Amino acid sequence: MKKLLLIGLFGFMLSCSNVQHPDFAANVESAKTLLDLQGTEADLQAQLDLVHEDMQWQPAFHGSSQIGKEAFGEYLKGWHDAMENVVYTPVNWLPGVLADTGLPDGSVRSYGKWTGVHTETGKSWELISYHTWDFKDGLIISGGDYFDAGGLLSSLASDESTE
């Protein structure tokens, strides 16, 4: 009987671990929209419309502190100005979980690859990245970009400085 109860409990735990948060699919679409807009540079305001007023974002640059919504807009515009033909190709879209319970919380994680062209030098580039997005009231409230932004920009620097 004990074995049967343990097997049942184990099965229940496994089945619960596969439960998706009801907002996960919609939040993935918001993250995809944000990234697609970053690549097209079509509408910075449309990107900011996906972001909560109280947002805290971790930029990809070494030593940077978290930034709010206004600085996030400047961060995005900086990338728009520096790069062309930018495309994010996701490897996956993963659900985030609450640290204290391990249960899905509606947040989104993604590993993927960015490609594009540096505006100033015309050099093509590609970059492996990891991104996180946490949501409140259907808007991105926090998250971050995790990749070697400094290394990318250094690799794209004009060769004139070495001549």
Class for domain 23-158, per CATH? alpha beta
Distance separating alpha carbons of residues 115 and 57, to the nearest angstrom: 22
Cβ proximity of 49 and 72 under 8 Å: no
Q: Has residue 15 got a pLDDT over 60? A: no
Task: Give me the pLDDT at residue 4, please.
Answer: 54
Q: How confident is the model at residue 1 (pLDDT cuts 50, 70, 90)?
A: low
Task: Give me the pLDDT at residue 16, please.
Answer: 53
Task: Give me the pLDDT at residue 43, please.
Answer: 83
Average confidence (pLDDT) over 36-50: 88
Average confidence (pLDDT) over 79-97: 95
Q: How confident is the model at residue 80 (pLDDT cuts 50, 70, 90)?
A: very high
Task: Parse the chain into domains and list their residue ranges.
Answer: 23-158
Task: Give me the pLDDT at residue 160, please.
Answer: 56
- φ, ψ (nearest 5 deg) of residue 67: -125, 155
Average confidence (pLDDT) over 91-104: 94
The predicted-structure confidence for 119-136, as pLDDT tens digits, reads as follows: 999 999 999 999 999 999
Task: Give me the pLDDT at residue 5, please.
Answer: 53
Q: Has residue 14 got a pLDDT over 50? A: no
Cβ proximity of 145 and 58 under 8 Å: yes
Side chain identity at residue 143, one-letter code: G
Q: How confident is the model at residue 140 (pLDDT cuts 50, 70, 90)?
A: very high
